[in-house]
Amino acid sequence: MKKTFNYKTNLAVTLSLLLVLMASCKAVDNANNKQKGAAIGAAGGALLGAIIGNNIGKSGKGELGAVIGGVVGGGAGVLIGNKMDKQAQDIEQEIPGAIVERVDDGIVITFDEQSGVYFDTEKYNINTKSQESLNKLAAVFLEYPDTNILVVGHTDSSGNDAYNMTLSKNRAEAVTNYLSGKGLSNGRFTTHWFGEEQPTNDNSTAEGRSKNRRVNIAIVPNEAMIKDAEKEAGTNE
Predicted confidence (pLDDT) at residue 165 exceeds the cutoff of 80? yes
Contacts of 53 (CB under 8 A, 6+ apart): 198, 199, 200
Residue pLDDT, tens place only, 210-226: 888 889 998 888 889 88
Q: Report which of residues 210 and 184 the model is more confident about.
A: 184
Give the CA count within 13 Å in the CB-facing half-sphere of 61.
Answer: 16
Q: How far is CA 100 from CA 18, 36, 51, 84, 91, in A?
A: 21, 26, 12, 12, 8
* Res 96 pLDDT > 90: no
pLDDT over 50 (residue 94):
yes
Contact between 166 and 153 (Cβ < 8 Å): no
What are the φ and ψ backbone dihedral angles of 48, each rounded to 5 degrees? -60, -40
- How far is the C-alpha of 68 from the C-alpha of 52, rounded, in Å? 17
For residue range 67-83, what is the model confidence (pLDDT) as tens digits? Answer: 223 345 678 888 988 99
Instruction: Place 45 in a pLDDT band, splitting at 50, 70 and 90.
Output: low
pLDDT at 31: 37
Q: From CA 117, how far away is CA 222, in angstroms rounded?
A: 25
User: Is domain 13-236 given the CATH code 3.30.1330.60 in the classification?
Assistant: yes
pLDDT at position 115: 76
Tell me the three state secondary structure of residue 178: helix
pTM: 0.75
Give the other-Cβ count within 10 Å of 107's Cβ: 27
In whole numbers, what is the pLDDT of the chain averaged over residues? 74
Contact 137, 95 (CB under 8 A): yes
Q: Which residue has the higher pLDDT, 31 or 106?
A: 106
Please report, for the chain, the start and end positions of each structural domain, with discontinuous segments joined by +.
13-236
User: Would you state the pLDDT for residue 235?
Assistant: 58
Instruction: Please tell me which of 32-46, 99-113, 164-178 the model is most confident about, judged by mean pLDDT.
Output: 164-178
**What percent of the chain is modeled with pLDDT above 90?**
33
Question: For the segment 57-67, what is each residue's pLDDT rounded down to a tens digit?
Answer: 443 333 323 32
